[in-house]
Amino acid sequence: MAGDAWIHYLIARRTGSSAAQALALRLAEAETAGVDFRNAPARRRVWEFLFFDPKVRETERQKNVVLFQDGGQIFLRKKNAENETLITCRSGAPLGRERYAHGEWGGYGHSDPCNGAFLICRNRSFLACGPGPVYRRDTALHNTVTFDGRGQIGDSLVWAPEFIPADRFSRLIQTSVEETSLLMEAELAPAYLDFLGVRSFNRRIFCPDADVLLVHDRIELEKNARCNGICIPMRFLS
């Protein structure tokens, strides 16, 4: 994506983040062909000019694994001789715990991937992707699991500011265990609709190599249901 440099300049100005400054500088002059016009309006240049702070030094992140605790999203970069792979997955509050604590109680924000789902990008192209901005929350469009075709709270509804209690957030159990190549372990059952009867849904995602992703699910239901594990390849949407 290109055209969103201004928001990263603003983050850098307010927080002093060198990583945000570096990303802004990369996005500012990136090619915008194929980018939604709302993300690359001509006026963005004014915002970039206003928010750029030359006193903030840019430094690229060097970490291979980065966890954004507020939203429960983790990113992993891995390289081998042939490929560079980026994997991300998340489990947490729809808009982040900080916004929830300040009164943003709803799940109307676009969260891609949704709880327990993952995205895979290799050599700058998606291998496994999400739905993009479809303006509704369809669990079946994410790389996770549905039961009898239904999924998580808000499933198949347009964005709406309904109240979601904090005890209905999925829970991160552990992340980034180098010894076992574990990327994320989460308990996803609280995020699923009550009538589906999901007692427990433990998902573990492993990435031992840039060419290997392993997903292990342990599910307990109150009743029999058709379980559909989803992985959406980019070519499916092309």
Give the containing element (helix H, strand E) for 217. strand 212-221
Q: Are residues 223 and 195 in the same domain?
A: yes
- Tell me whether residue 154 is in a domain: yes
Mean pLDDT (whole number) for 159-170:
78
Contacts of 127 (CB under 8 A, 6+ apart): 120, 121, 233, 234
- Cα–Cα distance for residue pair 6/28, rounded to 1 Å: 8
Q: Are residues 149 and 41 in the same domain?
A: no
Mean pLDDT (whole number) for 112-120:
87
In this prediction, residue 1 carries a pLDDT of: 44
Percent of the chain with pLDDT over 70: 89
Mean pLDDT (whole number) for 175-189:
91
Q: Are residues 126 and 149 in the same domain?
A: yes
In this prediction, residue 112 carries a pLDDT of: 65
Domain that holds residue 19: 5-51
Percent of the chain with pLDDT over 90: 43
Average pLDDT, the chain: 85
Q: How confident is the model at residue 51 (pLDDT cuts 50, 70, 90)?
A: very high
Q: Are residues 186 and 74 in the same domain?
A: yes
In contact, 154 and 162? CB cutoff 8 Å: yes
Mean pLDDT (whole number) for 14-42:
83
CATH number at residue 156: 2.70.98.70
- Cα–Cα distance for residue pair 53/9, rounded to 1 Å: 7
1/28: higher pLDDT: 28
Model confidence at 185: pLDDT above 50: yes
Model confidence at 23: pLDDT above 60: yes
Model confidence at 174: pLDDT above 90: yes
- Tell me whether residue 211 is in a domain: yes
In this prediction, residue 159 carries a pLDDT of: 65
Mean pLDDT (whole number) for 62-73:
87
- Tell me whether residue 98 is in a domain: yes
Q: Are residues 163 and 212 in the same domain?
A: yes
In this prediction, residue 196 carries a pLDDT of: 96
Least confident window among 26-35, 41-50, 78-87:
26-35
Q: Are residues 197 and 139 in the same domain?
A: yes
In contact, 163 and 171? CB cutoff 8 Å: no
Task: Quickly list H helices, the chain.
Answer: 5-15, 18-28, 44-51, 97-101, 234-237
Beta bridge partners of 89: 74, 118
- Tally of domains in the chain: 2
**Which of 98, 86, 94, 85 is CA-nearest to residue 114?**
94
Model confidence at 5: pLDDT above 50: yes
In this prediction, residue 237 carries a pLDDT of: 45
Q: Are residues 113 and 173 in the same domain?
A: yes
